[in-house]
Amino acid sequence: MLTRYKVVLEQDAIEGGYTVTVPGLPGCITEGDSFEEAMSNAQEAIMGYLEALEKEGLPIPKEAPNLVFGEIEVAI
């Protein structure tokens, strides 16, 4: 069975690379030096996360149906 999980990639403007979080799997975070590496690492992290849940007999979370991104403007 295939399940899709949304990922959020945040690029490090100073050092390069990406940090990846998986909103549907709390605490599932990885990184990579390139976009491709970050996505590959994310797939590996998700599979490991799901395997750990399965070993513990815990339910597999379903992807959160909606993600909304916005911007907040503040004076600094």
Q: Over the stretch 7-44, which tens digit does the pLDDT of each residue have?
A: 999 999 898 999 999 999 999 999 999 999 999 999 99
> How would residue 3 be classed by pLDDT, with cut points 50, 70 and 90?
confident
Q: How far apart, in whole angstroms, are the C-alpha atoms of residue 59 and residue 65?
A: 17
CA distance 21 to 28: 6
Instruction: Yes or no: say if 6 and 64 are a contact pair by the CB < 8 Å rule.
Output: yes
**Between 67 and 16, where is the model more confident?**
16
Position 65 confidence tier, pLDDT thresholds 50, 70, 90: low
3-state secondary structure of 45: helix
Confidence at residue 64, expressed as pLDDT on a 0 to 100 scale: 67
Instruction: Round to whole Å and give the CA distance between 7 and 70.
Output: 16
**pTM of the full structure:** 0.84
